[in-house]
A and B are shown apart, each in its own frame.
Chain A
Amino acid sequence: MEQQEHHEPLLLVENLTLKHQGAAAATTILRDVSLELRRGEILGLIGESGAGKSTLGNAVLGLLASGFSQTGGRILFEGRAINELSDKQRMELRGRRISAIFQDHTASLDPLMSVGSQIVETIKALDDAVTSRLAKSQALQLMERVGIPDPATRFGHYPHQFSGGQRQRIVIAIALAGRPDIIVADEPTSALDATVQKQILALLRNLTDETGVSLILVTHDMGVISEIADRVVVMRHGKVVEHGATSSILDTPAEAYTKDLLAAVPRLRVVPANSQITDGPRSVDPQTKVVPQATLDQNPILRVKDVTKIYAGHSFPWLRRGPQSPALRDVSIELARGSITGIVGESGSGKSTMGRIVAGLETAGRGSLDLNGRQFDISLAGKKNGLLGQVQMIFQDPAMSLNPRMSIGAALEESVWFASRETPSDRQDVGEMMDRLGLPRSLLLSYPHQLSGGQKQRVCIARALLANPSIIVADEPTSALDVSVQADIVRLLKKTVSERGVSMLFISHDLALVQDLCSEIYIFKDGVVEDAGSADFIFSKSQNPYTRRLIDARPGRFTH
């Protein structure tokens, strides 16, 4: 028996071909995909968007959306072909034998049901004989197992009362409830902060080692793969590019695509602590968390001082409950002319709020803003404060920041009109900008949905530049893009800043990216500046424990 388990893979995918019947034509999503999953291992499935990795995960779960059809090959689970089972048989397989963890921990849980009930419901659905009392004690054990402190109290709480990481732990507990053989984890940590991601990955590794469950880890992130996967399958355009043990894929990739993918991952350089740092360190006072004024640049383009922002709860003051915690508390930042300054922080740190205040999209209760030597009243909203237009923004999701009913040309011309109040007589400006950003001029007549994600973000950058702003605020401009595209966009931003002398505030959660781009870095935590200084200082000399923790949360392989 033991021996058989070693030889027989738990799950075998053989020459799987899947088609999707769209409105117009059928597209092949998976082409001749073969792989095997052994008991107790973590198999990483990596690829960029459109690689078909999530579809493969859904096919294993027997949860393909309508429109998908399997035209070749098979998926064998313990010798049984999953696609040949009836709906009912597949339902019986799910949860008991094969279960899942999805990316979005917020959306995975029913918001109207307590987490305890959701775990109990799963236990009872999978085992008819179990009593309510037994199910509850099992649920408490599971919560304990995945690291929820004080399960007895937390049992009756609702999903919104948990943090993101804890919600994902609950999801993992539910996935474990039926003691499955396989868990399909689709981007299980992509929606989490780096420090939380590291904990969740450690939990998953731990669980597979202890319970012998096998994990199919679908991800776009080489860092995640390098942390916990035993073996890796690299996919592209629905095909397997190469597969092998994690270390051999990472160290000696055979295929060009894998090499490109690895090269595109931003790497953190840890400067040796004893190296000469030209730029003086400027540490934050640990008590007041305020950057000392004397050390700052004498003539910055942007100087924001002592900004405090409190989000009001209810619109009626007497209905607000409890003390409001400020989104930003006495935050001061500066942006040197012609440079890129980074703001780094985890979710809820106030970094995006800062960006929106600088862009004039949000008001602040207190504080001053000095742009190009001119004072702006940041307690006023929108047009009244005069900031709109002086500052341009590039948002995270390019698909959502372009008007779908406006052609690219029209969107860019609008930007020119906005800056100069005159319609461009010829499209010279716009055309030149397109060339500069590597966009073919033929796209001017296209609409956003006809462009790729990277092209859309280039259009957003072009739009921001054409408005001739004093500074640009870029809020996570590469987070919605594939790594290879992300590398292109970062190169482009760097080039733009050096060529045109634009100043940019770059907001990101990714330390490696910020290190690559920025000369100055502010680290935000819970609405205050936790640490600040030149990039070299932050990455080598800073003794701030939070900064160290952020650096340590990076996958070791992509740090050197």
Chain B
Amino acid sequence: MVSAIIGRLSQAFLLLLVMSVIGFIGIHSVGNPVFNLVNAEAATPEDIRRATVALGLDQPVWHQYFRFIGNVLTGNFGTSYIYHLPAFQLVMGKLPATLELAIVAMMIAAPTGVLLGLLAGRRKDKPVDWAILRLSVIALSIPSFWLSMMLILIGAILTGWFPSGGRGPTGTLLGTEWSFLTLDGLRQLTLPALALALPNIALIARLTRSGTIEVETQDFTRFCQAKGLSPRRILFRHTLPNISIPIVTIIGMQFGGMLAFAVVVESIFNWPGVGKLLIDSIQLLDRPVVMATLTFISIAFVALNALVDLFYVVLDPRTRHSA
């Protein structure tokens, strides 16, 4: 067990290192941030040179990289060029908004997707199955910006049920501000959460459906029938656990994706989350914030993967050590 944890940690460390190199070189090659910081019309070449030296941008790339790594090891990601705040603190400030959006979206997507998938799998080749399959193809193929705009059109403009954008009033829990604690905040949350949930419902439903069909052909479900169990019990106590490993894997991956890359939805709904921060920072060439965000995303993916693996062990006795 200890060796497994050490193995996992060394993998995570390697991953972070590789990510930091790619991210650093990537953001370095996008452009020189100095021109975003000084007044391009009024600045003299001398001003620009001084700013460049002040930010350490006159040094070779590898030198800048090692200084960055050195700072990170002391827990310092640097100060945002734009906001003049510590970069990691900035990312953490955006985290609650992103986290609540992703959690609500997954709480809608996972149960709905699993139920629709079980239903479709059980009624294979029946009209219900046909309808769920077709709808899932549509939900997976429409672009998220169009889906978001349709949700605003229907949910906000035509009916006026929900606000069209922004994060609502927040309440405090565990020292952090959460908007799902207020009724208005929850209403603000609904449309962006739906926009994130719909494609995931489709994905999870398709996965559940194929898993159900596969497991139902196996002998133990037939044996469960033969021993007199009700179809409902077979479905939820035997079929569902046996198909849950791929489902949980995809839920983990998609959840990580929502934390990091819900850029389009966050932008359209003007949701102040991590994805929006990343895109804005890349556009402004705010290197410390970009690097801090990428590091956070990598850590989040590593942690989610570890959670998924832990779930495998809890669920499947065969992955546990057997004598």
- Which residues of A does B touch, CB under 8 Å? 61, 63, 91-92, 94-96, 99-100, 102, 104, 107-114, 121-122, 125-126, 158, 160-161, 171, 174-175, 177-178, 184, 316, 318-319, 321
Q: A111-B220, A111-B317 are in contact. List 4 more A-B contacts (CB 8 A).
A: A107-B219, A107-B220, A110-B220, A111-B316
Chain B residue, CB-CB nearest to A119: B227
CB of A441 to closest CB in B, whole Å = 38
Q: A100 and B223: CB pair below 8 A?
A: yes
Say if the beta carbon of B64 comes within 8 Å of chain A: no
Q: B322 and A160: CB pair below 8 A?
A: yes
Give bound CA distance, A160 to B320, whole Å. 11
Give bound CA distance, A110 to B215, whole Å. 10
Q: B226 and A110: CB pair below 8 A?
A: no
Q: B222 and A178: CB pair below 8 A?
A: no
Q: B228 and A112: CB pair below 8 A?
A: no
Give bound CA distance, A22 to B8, whole Å. 51
Query: Using a Cβ–Cβ cut-off of 8 Å, how many residues does chain B contribute to the interface with A?
Result: 28
Give bound CA distance, A125 to B213, whole Å. 24
Tell whether A102 pairs with B223 under 8 Å between CB atoms, given A111-B242, A125-B228.
yes
Which chain B residues border A63 with CB–CB below 8 Å? 222, 225-226
Tell whether A100 pairs with B242 under 8 Å between CB atoms, given A108-B220, A125-B233, A316-B7.
no
Which chain B residues border A126 with CB–CB below 8 Å? 228
**Per-position binary interface string of chain B over residues 1-27, scored 1 when its CB falls under 8 Å from any chain A CB and 0 otherwise:** 001100100000000000000000000
Q: B317 and A112: CB pair below 8 A?
A: yes
Which chain A residues border B318 with CB–CB below 8 Å? 111, 158, 160
Could you show 28 A-B contacts with beta carbons less than 8 Å apart? A63-B222, A63-B225, A92-B228, A94-B225, A95-B227, A95-B228, A95-B229, A100-B223, A102-B223, A102-B226, A107-B219, A109-B220, A109-B223, A110-B238, A111-B220, A111-B317, A112-B315, A113-B238, A121-B233, A122-B229, A125-B230, A125-B233, A126-B228, A158-B317, A158-B322, A160-B322, A161-B322, A184-B226
Q: B223 and A91: CB pair below 8 A?
A: no
- Which residues of B does A touch, CB under 8 Å? 3-4, 7, 218-220, 222-231, 233, 237-238, 241-242, 315-318, 321-323
A-side interface mostly: mixed
Which chain B residues border A61 with CB–CB below 8 Å? 226
Give bound CA distance, A108 to B218, whole Å. 8
Q: A99 and B226: CB pair below 8 A?
A: yes
Chain A residue, CB-CB nearest to B245: A112
Which chain B residues border A107 with CB–CB below 8 Å? 218-220
Give bound CA distance, A306 to B228, whole Å. 53
Q: B230 and A91: CB pair below 8 A?
A: yes
Which chain B residues border A104 with CB–CB below 8 Å? 219
CB of A488 to closest CB in B, whole Å = 30
Q: A99 and B242: CB pair below 8 A?
A: no
Tell whether A125 pairs with B3 under 8 Å between CB atoms, given A158-B318, A160-B317.
no
Give bound CA distance, A428 to B246, whole Å. 52
Q: B242 and A112: CB pair below 8 A?
A: yes
CB of B210 to closest CB in A, whole Å = 18
Q: A125 and B226: CB pair below 8 A?
A: no
Q: A122 and B316: CB pair below 8 A?
A: no
Chain B residue, CB-CB nearest to A160: B318
Instruction: Please name the 7 residue pairs, one residue from A and one from B, whose CB atoms are nearest each other, closest first.
Output: A95-B228, A107-B219, A100-B226, A158-B317, A108-B223, A94-B228, A95-B227
The residue from A92, A96, A110, A321 contacting B242, defined by CB atoms under 8 A apart: A110
CB of B33 to closest CB in A, whole Å = 42
